[in-house]
Chains A and B, each alone.
Chain A
Amino acid sequence: MQQEGNELTNLGGKNSVVFSRWSLYIAVFGLIGALVLMLDSAPYENITQDFTTDHSNRSGALIMPTKVSSPRGLMIFVHGDGAMGRSAFGYYYPLWQRLAKEGIASYSWDKAGVGGSEGNWLEQNMQSRANEILDVVIMLRKQPRFKDIPIGLIGFSQAGWVMPKALKESSELSFAVFVSTPINWLKQSEFLTQTRLKRAGITGKSKSEKMKHAQDVSKLIAEGAKYDTYLDFLERTAPNAVESAMNKSRYQFVQKNINVDSELELREIHQPLFVAFGNHDVNINVANNAAHFERIFTQNPAQLKLKTYQNADHTLLKNSEFGHLTPSLWWLIKVSLWEEDGFSERFVDDVMSWLNLQITKLSQHAQ
């Protein structure tokens, strides 16, 4: 027995891990099996699919539902302002996921000059962006699986000036979802100036002067003034604003689009629209734009479904959770974690119900 003691002091080497390893291996394989099972149930497959527009390549993603043999419909995602990749920093994932669960495919692409796409989004205007949509529709319709299914648009913010042009020009587009979309660029710009001044605590005469100055700048841009003239104007009238002046590319982008107003196009389209706003949106004047949409569709109210969501910001995400966050790494992580729950209550459900209704109506009509 004494000898046993000497051996004991050497324990802890190979012997300590020899026995019962098999149970560990079985458990690890079991875990891998369970994870594969979970992954296998993912509702969509992400397929890279490019298209050409105006001799320039755009790289995009086709989101195909895996739970159905063929999709019931297809939604084309139209980005808002800024350098957006196909998933808008992961903002689209929850929507793709939900659409796929409903048996609806999605298509989105990197904006010009972003990700795998050629060109420069700042050189585009709203018409060229609408042309992209038309080219996407042509590319998709060539594929047998999308030949006969309804195709719709879902666009955010600035897409409100792009989608009406595409809807007007293409009868292939059956419906559209407008999320936080303004109608008139100049009015939108004026609202942003007001919001900025309010945040800075500027009121009274000073506010009036600054509003007048902003209008003068807009007028200058709209009249086609060159970039140097714009800088000279700022130098003369508001030297403090020179530092925050637009760069040349942005200036030219604004100049190309400053006169856009989607009212006329909206009056001419025949497709049904779902328009959603958030009551905490600080980027657009929700009350005015909502009233404007209603006025446009007074003659045909059935064509429009308009809803303003509570506790929702410009992105329709919950204001209580995301309103105080500026776009940052944490914002992205939070959006990824919350997924569909990050959106304002009922927003995603309402959009899906409306889409399902439109698709059902179209299929009944086709029969």
Chain B
Amino acid sequence: MNQILDLIKAQSPRYLLRILMLSVFEVVVIVLLFFLTKPYFASYQVFWYLLCLIMVPACACSVAVNGLTKIASQVMVQAKHLNITITDTNNEKLVTSAWQYISWKKVLVMVSCGVLIALCYSESAKSFTDLLVLFIAIIIATFACANWVIINASVPMSVAVYKSYLVRRRVSNDTKTIDHCIRFHLLPWAGIASATLLTFFVKYYLGLADESGYVETGYVIGSSYISGVFVAVWLWLEVGQMARLDHILGRIHLAGIGHVTGSEAFSLIMFVPIGLVMFLAAFNGFFDIESYRYQTAIIMSVLLTLLCALTGVSVAILKLCASRTLKKQPLKEVVDR
């Protein structure tokens, strides 16, 4: 009997519930964000199609990465507890980042799933009921795609993580850590966050431009700030959780970082978006810019979102590397947190 496989199977009910709840949560949060934004239900058709194309792959990847990391972490803790050993401890090409199990082919399938939903919605009566069915379809598609990725990757990733744990050494220096963080945390999460927020900006600014022909800079600053904070907090929490595994495996290690408290990290997360929008406001004031075309407004807001994503990821990594608890507490407690 293969004990590692049993450990992974034992995760099944919990991870299924987890990814289902995560799928519902992510989609519902985004949907509420859209519903509470102008111009309410009477928004552009193009927006709903864009939403399907972006939301399904973005949410599915996010949920899959979360689920895979959680499964691998739990398996690692329990395997350590049961003292399971592996003779083949060759750690070359050990793939321990969940992102590496999401191939372009899989993303293409997810996008196709989004296209299919968009096409069906396009053919529907587009009533309010259809809108609800659309979101249910997006939730199911998110769950199915994430589940598909997890089913295919949970075993190889869990094995790789456990092997990597058995041979772990503090090999990472600052440069390798930064490369790792950019490649496996900043780029994928910033991509997902900006793509998701792009759909929001398209809806919001198109609605405003439709009303008055342009978008006032005040609206751009306000919405950029709110979405910037949203993205920064989201990535801070998400990456903070995902990167713990990398830290335990020795993939992330930054030297010379003092202690960073939760409130300090939170203040930093709140301050950077304020600083960015103040800069934008000063820029607008200096050049007497009172309004933007909606395309310019979208570009500006997406750029600010990317910078806020960078902030969220950076703060999460800094906080993690500065954490004393990780160094002191036993493995089980650290991963279970």
A contact set with B: CB distance below 8 Å = 1-2, 4-9, 11-12, 15-17, 19-21, 23-24, 27-28, 30-31, 34-35, 37-39, 41-43, 67, 97, 101, 336-341, 345
- CB pair A20–B45 under 8 Å, yes or no, is no
Contact A11 B147 (CB under 8 A): no
Cβ A27 vs Cβ B147 within 8 A: yes
Asked if B155 contacts A337 (CB within 8 A), the reply is no
Residues of chain B from 68 to 93 with CB closer than 8 A to chain A in the complex: 83-88
Q: Which of B4-12, B251-259, B304-312 contacts A (4 or more CB under 8 A)?
A: B4-12
User: Cα distance A199–B156 when bound, in Å?
Assistant: 65
- Interface presence of B55 (CB below 8 A): no
Complex alpha-carbon distance, A16 and B152, angstroms: 6
**Which residues of A are found within 8 Å of B129, using beta-carbon distances?**
41
Say which residue of B4, B87, B144 sits within 8 Å of A2 (CB atoms): B87
Partner of B210, one of A11, A16, A345: A345
Q: Please give, as numbers and ranges, the residues of chain B lying within 8 Å of A5 by CB-CB distance.
A: 85-88
Return chain B residues, CB-CB under 8 Å to A31: 113, 117, 137, 140-141, 144
Q: How far is the CB of B139 from chain A (nearest CB, A)?
A: 9
Closest B residue by C-beta to A94: B45
Q: Report whether A19 and B9 are in contact in the complex, using a CB–CB cutoff of 8 Å.
A: yes
- A329 and B177 alpha carbons, distance in the complex (Å): 47
Least Cβ–Cβ distance between A45 and chain B, in angstroms: 11
Known: A8-B2, A12-B155, A345-B210. A20 touches B136 (CB 8 A): no
A20 to chain B, nearest CB (A): 5
Bound Cα distance from A341 to B16, whole angstroms: 40
Nearest 7 A-B pairs (CB), nearest first?
Answer: A5-B86, A27-B144, A16-B155, A5-B87, A34-B137, A41-B125, A38-B124
* Cβ–Cβ < 8 Å partners of B85 in chain A: 1-2, 4-5
Tell whether, in the assembled complex, residue B155 and residue A20 are in contact, meaning their CB atoms are under 8 Å apart.
Answer: no
B134 part of interface (Cβ distance < 8 Å): yes
Identify 17 residue pairs between A and B in the complex whose beta-carbon atoms are under 8 Å apart, listed by A's number. A1-B84, A2-B85, A5-B85, A5-B86, A8-B4, A8-B88, A12-B159, A34-B136, A38-B123, A38-B124, A38-B130, A38-B134, A39-B124, A41-B130, A43-B125, A337-B45, A339-B45
Q: Is the interface of B mostly helix, strand, loop or mixed?
A: helix
Determine the distance from Cα of A97 to Cα of B122 in the docked complex, in whole angstroms.
10
Is B33 part of the binding interface, using a Cβ–Cβ cutoff of 8 Å? no
Query: Contact: B45 with A341, CB < 8 Å?
Result: yes
Complex contact A42–B125 (CB within 8 A)? yes
Cα–Cα distance between A30 and B124 once the two chains are bound (Å) = 18
In contact, A35 and B3 (Cβ under 8 angstroms):
no
Contacting residues, chain A, for B4 (C-beta < 8 A): 4, 8, 11
A16, A38, A97: the one contacting B137 at CB < 8 Å is A38
Q: Interface on B for A, CB 8 Å cutoff?
A: 2-5, 8-9, 12, 16, 44-46, 49, 83-88, 113, 116-117, 120-127, 129-130, 133-134, 136-137, 140-141, 143-144, 147-148, 151-152, 154-156, 159, 163, 210
Q: Enumerate chain B residues within 8 angstroms of A38, measured Cβ to Cβ.
A: 120-121, 123-124, 130, 133-134, 137
Residue of B with least CB distance to A311: B213
> A17 CA to B12 CA in the complex, in Å?
12
Determine the chain B residues whose CB is within 8 A of the CB of A16 once the complex forms: 151-152, 154-156
For the complex formed, measure the closest distance between the CB of B40 and the CB atoms of chain A, giving whole angstroms.
14
How many angstroms from the CA of A341 to the CA of B147 in the assembled complex? 36
What separation, in Å, do the CA atoms of A9 and B86 have in the docked complex?
A: 9
Chain B residues near A43 (CB, 8 Å)?
Answer: 125
Cβ of A17 and Cβ of B147 under 8 Å apart?
A: no
Within 8 Å CB of B16, what residues of A? Answer: 20, 23
Minimum distance in angstroms from B167 CB to a CB of chain A: 12
Mostly, the A contact residues are helix
Q: Which residue of chain B lies nearest to A101 when distances are taken between CB atoms in the complex? A: B125
**B residues in contact with A39, CB < 8 Å:** 120, 123-124
| A336 contact set on B, CB distance < 8 A | 122
How far, in angstroms, from A42 to B124 measured CA to CA in the complex? 4
| CA–CA, A22 and B87, complex, Å | 33
Query: A2-B87, A4-B2 are contacts. A34–B155 as well, Cβ < 8 Å?
Result: no
A-chain residues with CB within 8 Å of residue B156 when the two chains form the complex? 11-12, 16
Say how far A187's CB is from chain B's closest CB, in angstroms.
32
Question: B140 touches which one: A8, A11, A30 (CB < 8 A)?
Answer: A30
Across the interface, B46 reaches (CB within 8 A) one of A12, A37, A67, A338, namely A338
In whole angstroms, how far apart are the Cα atoms of A28 and B140 in the complex? Answer: 8
Q: Please give, as numbers and ranges, the residues of chain B lying within 8 Å of A7 by CB-CB distance.
A: 2
Q: Give the residues in chain A near B84, CB-CB below 8 Å.
A: 1, 4
| Structural contact, A35 and B116, CB atoms closer than 8 A | yes
Chain B's nearest CB lies how many Å from the CB of A294? 28
* A10 CB → nearest B CB, Å: 9
Query: Please, which residue of chain B has its CB at the minimum distance from the CB of A2?
Result: B87
Q: Is the CB of A28 within 8 A of B45?
A: no
Contact status A337-B46, CB under 8 Å = yes
A20 and B46 contacting across the interface, CB-CB below 8 Å = no
What A residues does B87 contact at CB under 8 A?
2, 5-6
A8/B125 in contact, CB under 8 A: no
Minimum Cβ distance to chain A for residue B211 (Å): 10
Give the residues in chain B near A67, CB-CB below 8 Å.
125
Contacts of A35 in B (CB 8 A): 116-117, 120, 137
Q: Which residue of B lies closest to A1 (CB)?
A: B85
The one of B5, B83, B163 in contact with A15, judged by C-beta atoms closer than 8 angstroms, is B5
Given contacts A31-B117, A42-B125, 15 further A-B pairs with CB under 8 A are A1-B83, A2-B87, A5-B85, A7-B2, A8-B2, A8-B88, A9-B86, A11-B156, A12-B159, A15-B5, A19-B9, A28-B144, A37-B133, A42-B123, A338-B46
Q: Which residue of B lies closest to A37 (CB)?
A: B133
Supposing A30-B140, A345-B210 touch, asked if A338 and B45 sit within 8 A by C-beta, the answer is yes
Q: Looking across the interface, which residue of chain A has its beta carbon closest to that of B134? A: A38
Nearest-neighbour CB distance to chain B for A221, whole angstroms, equals 43
Q: Which residue of B lies closest to A341 (CB)?
A: B44
**Contact B155 A15, beta carbon cutoff 8 Å:** yes
Q: Kindly list chain B residues whose C-beta atoms are within 8 Å of the C-beta of A20.
A: 12, 16, 147, 151
- State the CA gap A6–B12 with chains docked (Å): 24
Q: How far is the CA of A101 from the CA of B128 in the complex (A)?
A: 13
Known contacts A1-B84, A23-B147, A41-B129; is A341 also within 8 Å of B46 by CB? Answer: yes
